[in-house]
Structure 1
Amino acid sequence: MNGEKLSEIGIGSAALSGDIAAEQKAIRYGLSHGINVIDTAESYGNSEDVIGDALKGIDRDQYFLISKFLPQHATPRLQRKSLEKSLQRLGVDYLDLYLLHWRANADLRSTVEGLEQLQKEGLIRYWGVSNFDLSDMEDLMNVPNGDHVFANEDLYNLTSRGVEFDLLPWQHQHHIGFLSYSPFHAVGWNFIQPNSVIKQISEEHQVTPQQIMLAWITRNHNVLPLPKACKIQHVQDNIDALDITLTENDLKRLDRVYPAPQHKVPLDKI
């Protein structure tokens, strides 16, 4: 992604299960089995602390660490404070990517100014945004240095395909990475319940329905999903999903049940 050698999937950390030992083992397992992207946020409860403990003893250049700050902290002074606290909880000296969690009423010009300064100081390597739609991205590109944005992280899965209509191709055209959160969740944090089509396809490939959902997201190799995995087996299942090649018939059957957008739709968010 934009010159960075990132794994095809990452590890998400929203709403961790509470079994800290298992979660930390899962993170370390993922890092030792080819995953190098970890995603968290200041608003994800204790996830930064959990991740920080899991990363102890692991070479810093072995992982690409992402965190996010809230829009009410989107001023140069407050985002610096947020970053300092996140770095302390994570036990690192810098973040690879720092995201504005959502736009709300954030002043994009001021936000970018602060992020550019943090980047110059080496406290972050790249900056980006999350939960931005196309109009938000266009506004961002119109502020000074807004075109330095590395990536945008949005909800994208079989039940939330709206970004395919305009945002995904626009970001590809402008060489802006696309990260997707909650590959197994519909809007409202409800788990996507595999229907008969997903179940049939999973049986044909001899994999789980969740692996089919993940394979679908990575099918074009232009989206990096961030599935949460609280157990080692879940991490391995996610890794194994990368070996699944969905056939044209598989994709057509999924399209009939979860159709691609034919017009602009509001951006889905969780």
Structure 2
Amino acid sequence: MKYLTIKGEKLSQIGLGGADLGRQPENEAAAIHYGLTHGINVVDTAESYPGSEKIIGWAMQGLDRSQTFIVSKVLPSHATPDQERRSLEASLKQLGTDYLDLYLLHWRANADLAQAVAGLEGLKQEGLIRHWGVSNFDVADMEDLLKVPDGGQVFANEDLYNIASRGVEYDLLPWQAQRGIGFLGYSPFHAVGWNYLHPTLVLREIGAAHHATPYQVMLAWITRNNNVLSLPKASSVDHVKANIAALDLELTDDELRMIDEEYPAPTTKVPLEKI
């Protein structure tokens, strides 16, 4: 397993994504349990993912809680101190834990950032969360966040990032790196439900050269610079095994060039993509 460090936290370079769980709860719980006992130490969920928190809590039974970095998210409609507390308490109950490692504002919408941050800082001071952050924020949103009291305490921002959605590379990734703010990338296969990326011939050929699947190539590409914590969905043990193995895949300069030709890097500002 490969790791990166965000503000002193040693985190596995891939985590376990919790979106759209509940189709096969036993298989999903087994996948999460497998990942957490084979080097992955990050699991990501949200109050808006029906059943996801409960499945993750089930999967974690019997494990050392201190060895897992649990991420969940609060809806922008709940982004006030009182409502954040209620949402957090409900999430903690579902997860079967008494604290979160990271609590994210799921997206900005019409949330009052000063109120949201005040509530999150209060939860942190009480020990109910260890860190807080945001999700689906672009550079302008992050700049607004840093203007509010304690906004600079943000731990990470979680955004869509995959081989076909590279807009964050133009400005957001370097902006966060310069300020030491972690970047979590969701949907590495652009997958929510049925909406998977369809591998091109280039990806299939690169995969074949490494005795790997095109999806392993995609994940190796995302983690190539050791500056992104990617969150592939955990739906089966075999899927988690393949994701872990992808971290050992080293793409050559020629292969990276071929991927850039197939999926070009942005050369101008791109509106933030979301799923």
How does the TM-score come out when normalised to structure 2? 0.96
Task: Kindly report which structure 2 residues correspond to 1:53-92, keeping only aligned pairs within 5 A, or say none.
Answer: 53-92=58-97
Match of 2:210 among 205, 214, 237: 205
> Does 1:220 pair with 2:225?
yes
CA distance, structure 2, for counterparts of residue 87 and residue 45 of structure 1: 14
Q: Which residue of 2 aligns with 1:144?
A: 149
1:146-191 CA distances to partner (integer Å, 9 max, x unpaired)?
0000000000001100000000000000000000000001699621
Structure 2 partner of 1:191: 196
Q: Deviations over 1:123-156 (max 9, x none)?
A: 0000000000000000000001100000000000
Looking at structure 2, the residues matched to 17 and 82 of structure 1 have their Cα atoms a distance apart, in angstroms, of 20
Alignment of 1:108 onto 2:113: yes
2:29–2:58: 8 Å Cα contact kept in structure 1?
A: yes
Quick one: distance in 1 between partners of 2:224 and 2:163? Answer: 12
Correspondence for 2:258 among 249, 253, 258: 253
1:170 maps to which of 167, 170, 175 = 175
Identity %: 64
1:49 aligned onto 2:54: yes
TM-superposition CA deviations, 1:194-218 (whole Å, max 9, x none): 0011001001111001000000000
Q: Gaps (5+ residues) in structure 1?
A: none
Runs of 4 or more consecutive aligned structure 1 residues displaced over 2 Å after TM superposition:
186-189
What is the letter of the counterpart of residue 160 of structure 2?
Answer: L
Q: Does the 8 Å CA contact 1:9/1:226 hold for their aligned counterparts? A: yes
The Cα shift of 1:99 comes to: 0.1
Aligned positions, number: 270
Within 2, Cα distance between the matches of 1:43 and 1:269?
A: 15
Determine if contact 2:19/2:192 at 8 Å carries over to the other structure.
Answer: no
Match 2:245 to one of 240, 252, 255: 240
The alpha-carbon deviation at position 17 of structure 1 amounts to 5.2
Question: CA–CA distance in 2 between the matches of 1:137 and 1:188?
Answer: 29
CA contact (8 A) 1:159 1:186 kept: no
Query: Alpha carbon RMSD of aligned pairs, Å?
Result: 1.1
Question: 1: CA distance between counterparts of 2:190 and 2:22?
Answer: 15
Give TM-score scaled by structure 1 length: 0.98
